[in-house]
Amino acid sequence: MNDEIKYEDKRCQRFNQSIDVDGEIQIAGFSSLPSRILFEMDIEAYKEAFNEFIDQEYEELKEVVYKDYPSCIAFNLRLSEKGQDASDPVRKLLHLKDIWESIVFVINAIVWAEVRFKNINLKTTRVLVSTGSGGNPVYENFSQKRLLTDAIKTKIQNVKSIINHSITNNLNLKCEQIEIDLLDELMELQDIRNDISHHQIPSNEQAIEELKLVTPLFKEMLVKTNFLEDCKILRFESFSAKCKCESFNGHSLNKEFDDFDFGTSQTYVIGLGQEQLFLKWDNEIYSLSPFLHYEKDTLGFESFMCFYKGKKDSKFWYEPVKIRKERVFDHLQTRFDSEKDAIINLIAP
């Protein structure tokens, strides 16, 4: 833990609250919170207790991720913890990278899906892309290039801009539940990842050093993704009295189906057909295509979530979470373009 830790650090607030549940301690007319007393009287004991709290919090969160998070995230976390090479520092580092990039892919799909479904006009919205000479911020308008980017950091910048736009204009979009701090930490992790890529596959020694940087930040980042527990990614299969849908949540890739009553959204879900993934986030429902898709295994027992990686040769390319070999879905290219154009109409200046 950083020796320069400050009591007011955001990362300490959950820990402070956990030991301040009974309020201030009164001693001879003096009163203070237990966390403040511990911090000021024995900083080393404070750090040790904080680290134990973070470790316990992370262990509990992992079980939630395995069970309820979108499968591309849950599957990769399971590999990082219990996969065949989980104890290998190089593989561990690469698995963690896969997890935070999967989080970016999911968040990107969720935010653009809401923008399209709710017809949010972003034509005048500016995206902070860098800091120029003299420390001046550099902005860009949204564009098709930014929308279809394969760059993780550009996706994060886009999402951050949309959330800030919603907050500033009191739009109350669902995506406001995504913390800006989470996006900043994903950006920081990606900066570390870019450093890793400079030496291709790192040596064991390099991976161990990188893990010292990544692991604390990764744990803090993952805590801020707790909204994903409520984000159910589904595919419509059939309708009788209710909608039978395939679920893409949890670490297992085996096909699982549940019945849902979507109320007034039932017609919308049925209209999506059997070849689109959609999001059910509490009472909000909207299509995640073309940024998330799926693929079945040849035996029909498993389904793999696929995330959009980029557009090449006029085609949308996807990477299945398990197979990790990019592919296209030729019969859906026209639909993908139509879904993309619906967003372009909302962002083109």
Predicted pLDDT of residue 196: 61
Q: What is the DSSP string of 58-80?
A: HHHHHHHHHHHSBHHHHHHHHHH
Residues 281-317: tens digit of each pLDDT: 999 999 999 999 999 887 878 999 999 999 999 999 9
C-beta of residue 215 within 8 angstroms of C-beta of residue 100: no
Q: What is the mean pLDDT of residues 247-261?
A: 95
- Separation between Cα atoms, residue 101 and residue 199, nearest integer Å: 19
Q: Show the DSSP H helices in the chain as ranges.
A: 10-19, 34-41, 43-68, 71-82, 89-117, 144-147, 152-168, 180-197, 204-223, 266-272, 333-347
267 pLDDT more than 90: yes
pTM: 0.92
- Separation between Cα atoms, residue 163 and residue 183, nearest integer Å: 10
Q: Which of 83, 108, 163 is nearest to 343 (CA)?
A: 108
1 pLDDT more than 50: no
- Separation between Cα atoms, residue 349 and residue 344, nearest integer Å: 9
194 pLDDT more than 70: yes
Residues 13-24: tens digit of each pLDDT: 889 999 988 888
Q: What is the mean pLDDT of residues 240-246?
A: 96
Sequence-distant (6+) residues with CB within 8 A of 155 are 104, 105, 108, 149
Q: Which position has the token pair 């219990």?
A: 82
Residues 197-217: tens digit of each pLDDT: 555 677 888 889 889 989 999
Q: What is the mean pLDDT of residues 170-192?
A: 96
Alpha carbon of residue 109 to chain centroid: 10
C-beta of residue 77 within 8 angstroms of C-beta of residue 67: no
Task: Give the SS3 label for residue 237.
Answer: strand
Task: Give the SS3 label for residue 264.
Answer: helix
Task: Give the SS3 label for residue 325.
Answer: coil
